Chain A
Amino acid sequence: GAVVSQHPSWVICKSGTSVKIECRSLDFQATTMFWYRQFPKQSLMLMATSNEGSKATYEQGVEKDKFLINHASLTLSTLTVTSAHPEDSSFYICSSLAAAHNEQFFGPGTRLTVL
């Protein structure tokens, strides 16, 4: 089946630093990837839709200058949390759309803790 990986699986950083999270489709090409965030014991909230070679589309209320998304290839999308603050601590999950199956496959998530 389709596999999506994320790196790192967890990260702890100091307030004010930037953190980059990678999302890779290991055995299929994904023209579209999605980024979600999940607070403890809550649902996944869609942050943005990332299309290969074009700018990401952000959901209402998500700061595009704070959460930089780059989808430079058909197998890699990155989310950079810039100038992270404790309120950015969350579980970030990416999802790749496999066009052949018209199905979303999810990465294992990255837990970000900002001190």
Chain B
Amino acid sequence: GNSVTQMEGPVTLSEEAFLTINCTYTATGYPSLFWYVQYPGEGLQLLLKATKADDKGSNKGFEATYRKETTSFHLEKGSVQVSDSAVYFCAPRSGNTPLVFGKGTRLSVIA
């Protein structure tokens, strides 16, 4: 089955700092790759996705590129804000199988 490894958190950054959250995956076939965000006390929201190799997903200043050769989908943002404080989950998905999540990375951005 699919699995994912995310960098351990928590990650604490100052506002306007550069963010990278590493994610590597194992999956059957050619999965789609997703980043979800969970704000305190809420459910998951799709942040961005990529469906094939070399695709770049982007949203709200966040980006991630589907790297098949390194089986990675690292999340980046050039300048984080306090409002970006949340837990971020990387997940691969093959076909109709359910999303399988990693442990998540908690991000805290301080002013």
Using a CB–CB distance below 8 Å, which chain A residues touch chain B?
6, 32, 34, 41-44, 46, 49, 93, 95, 97, 102-109
**Contact between B42 and A44, CB atoms less than 8 A apart:** no
**Contact between B96 and A46, CB atoms less than 8 A apart:** no
- List residues 56-111 of chain B with CB under 8 A from any CB of chain A: 89, 93, 96, 98-104, 106
Q: Which A residues touch B32, using CB under 8 A? A: 102
**Contact between A95 and B106, CB atoms less than 8 A apart:** no
B43 CB–A CB distance under 8 Å: yes
The residue that A44 contacts in the complex, of B44, B49, B96, with Cβ under 8 A, is B44
Q: Which B residues touch A46, using CB under 8 A? A: 98, 100
Closest to A111 in B: B41
B4 CB to closest chain A CB (Å) equals: 10
Contacts known (A43-B89, A44-B89, A46-B98); A106 close to B103, Cβ less than 8 A: no
Contact with A along B1-39 (1 / 0, CB 8 A): 000000000000000000000000000000010001000
| A105 to B43 Cα, complex, angstroms | 10
Closest to A10 in B: B41
| A85 to B36 Cα, complex, angstroms | 30
Q: Which A residues touch B99, using CB under 8 A? A: 34, 95, 104
| A20 to B42 Cα, complex, angstroms | 19
| A43 to B91 Cα, complex, angstroms | 11
The residue that B96 contacts in the complex, of A32, A95, A107, A109, with Cβ under 8 A, is A32
Add 11 more A-B contacts to A34-B99, A109-B43 (CB < 8 A): A43-B103, A43-B104, A44-B44, A44-B89, A46-B100, A93-B43, A95-B99, A102-B32, A104-B93, A104-B98, A106-B45
**Contact between A106 and B43, CB atoms less than 8 A apart:** yes
| A6 to B99 Cα, complex, angstroms | 19
| A12 to B101 Cα, complex, angstroms | 27
**Contact between A97 and B96, CB atoms less than 8 A apart:** yes
Contacts known (A32-B96, A95-B99); A109 close to B42, Cβ less than 8 A: yes
